[in-house]
Structure 1
């Protein structure tokens, strides 16, 4: 699936939302417009950039993170709800009670876009070339550019088995976010998978995959990294 960056709607729609009541503190409209324009432009550049430029663009996103979160803080609940629904129209967001906090977590996870090996995880994950999970099955280091890969995860019975999770696939070296969306999974099963292949094809390098519960804090479930050494023509 191509990079459909949900962030273009969920956080950034706030900047161009209708003005809030006069009694509420607000960021000047021209400042809001500039914030969203700069942030969206940087994200769009990130999706089109050459690999060597992704790290520079990711740093630009990090610098704008505080400004984006500030505007989210001043958005009304109605605005937040509206733009989350626009960003993820096919998903049930009823489990998210604090949508402001959820939106800020989305911004943070998109901008940081890298697994933290020291972060506590309740489950485990692995990436293979097969849909069927087989214990100790290792991903080949040589794959086709358009090959579909399967990120398996197991909650180990420590995470509620809901029918939706949030997933991020990213390039570890550049910080480029390849996929960042909710996904439906098999409810009441501890083991599940999400498949993916980039629109522009895989490149040699190391990639991160991270699963989250679809709740206010985007609580992590499991994460893994995998290495591609060679792309087969």
Structure 2
């Protein structure tokens, strides 16, 4: 579940901090899967939520947003660095100057999980079935359940081109976050793309995609919403 790793790590930190009277298995820093496993166990113990129920997990985290942010605020820089390193192994986070602010933005964007139609963004985005971007190309309303879709974004020369961006794919109709991770892109092009298809397959619904700069504030670059009318098995 790469899209949820960041929030799970901070969620784990909250539940460990708020449950001092209970025995919590230690989290080995080299194994982010152990952190996630412990988090899920903690959720189950407290509210009997099944780990496969992603929407329930999101709602639980949303309900605890204030407390989780409080834990982030009180965490040491070393603890925050550990959380982020466990969450995004292999990614360069050196451009993030204030990781505490970044961590809070991660929580906020994950639990809110929706595009703001009134937000004015510097770039543009679109979703198609092709890796090659063609102006005017429109996503068909009928696609295969496991079809790979390509979210293209263009900075229009208004946003600095870095080698990494942050991206969120979510189901607008249900609020479920499908993907929430940094992604590597080409730093010498204004136009880039990130491809994705859900493990459980697409469903007839409306979806949101949003690109952010990988910086302290996760400043938005571009966003787009698209609708799938029919899914072919």
TM-score range, shorter chain: 0.7 to 0.9
What is the CA distance between 1:3 and its match in structure 2? 5.1
Q: Structure 1: which 5+ runs fail to align?
A: 18-25
Q: Deviations over 1:94-143 (max 9, x none)?
A: 00010000000000000000001111211000000000000010000000
Partner residue in 2 for 1:12: 11
Partner residue in 2 for 1:29: 20
Partner residue in 1 for 2:111: 111
Cα distance in 1 for residues equivalent to 2:21 and 2:104: 22
Q: Deviations over 1:159-207 (max 9, x none)?
A: 0100000000000011100000000001121000000000000000000
| Shift in CA distance, 132/221, structure 1 to aligned 2, threshold 3 Å | same
Q: Structure 2: which 5+ runs fail to align?
A: 25-38
Which residues in structure 2 correspond to 1:83-122 (within 5 Å)? Answer: 83-122=83-122
| Shift in CA distance, 159/78, structure 1 to aligned 2, threshold 3 Å | same
What is the CA distance between 1:6 and its match in structure 2? 2.0
Partner residue in 2 for 1:62: 62
SS at match of 2:4: coil
SS at match of 2:179: strand
Partner residue in 2 for 1:199: 199
Cα distance in 2 for residues equivalent to 1:203 and 1:30: 43
| Aligned positions, number | 216
Q: Is the 8 A contact 1:185 1:192 kept in 2?
A: yes
Q: Is the 8 A contact 1:210 1:223 kept in 2?
A: yes
Q: Deviations over 1:5-47 (max 9, x none)?
A: 1224542354478xxxxxxxx877359x7xx6349988x7474
**Where does structure 1 differ by over 4 angstroms across 4 or more consecutive aligned residues?**
39-42, 44-47
| Shift in CA distance, 57/155, structure 1 to aligned 2, threshold 3 Å | same
Partner residue in 2 for 1:48: 53
Q: Give the TM-score taking structure 2 as reference length.
A: 0.84
